[in-house]
């Protein structure tokens, strides 16, 4: 059984600017917890092959997905299709899970 804990996972900054702790990463999928400080945002980007789901655990943010903007808060889940431009901005300290299928790869992350 492969069990990971946030208490023992090292945080790092991703290519889009968020601080994450990756819990699992296989060839098929990945799961990470991301944090943004109030006022911080990820850099607008898309993934060519990867579909993502953001699940808001704490805080409040503004999600932009292909030009559509919406406030997101605790308990919200956002589906981000592969190829969709997206960015999330923290309106207050924000913590969210990021599930990626297939697993996140830096070389599948594209910026304007």
pLDDT of residue 74: 98
- Percent of the chain past pLDDT 70, that is, above it, reads 100
Q: Distance of CA 25 to CAs 3, 32, 34, 58, 78, Å?
A: 12, 9, 15, 23, 20
In the CATH scheme, what is the homologous superfamily, with its name and number, of domain 12-76+88-111? Jelly Rolls (2.60.120.10)
What are the helix (H) ranges across 1-112?
none
Q: pTM here?
A: 0.94
Strand partners, 69: 64
pLDDT score for 15? 85
Mind listing the pLDDT tens digit for each residue in 50-101? Answer: 999 999 999 999 999 999 999 999 999 999 999 999 999 999 999 999 999 9
Domain boundaries, the chain: 12-76+88-111
């Amino acid at each position: 059984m492969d069990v990971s804990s946030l208490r023992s996972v090292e945080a790092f900054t991703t290519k889009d600017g968020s601080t994450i702790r990756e819990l699992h990463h296989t060839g098929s999928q990945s799961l990470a917890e991301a944090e943004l400080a109030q006022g911080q945002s990820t850099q607008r980007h898309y993934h060519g092959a990867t579909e993502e789901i953001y699940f808001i655990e704490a805080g409040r943010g503004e999600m932009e997905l292909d030009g559509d903007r919406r406030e997101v808060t605790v308990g919200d889940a956002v589906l981000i299709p592969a190829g969709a431009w997206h960015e999330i901005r923290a309106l207050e300290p924000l913590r969210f899970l990021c599930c990626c299928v297939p697993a996140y790869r830096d070389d599948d992350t594209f910026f304007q």
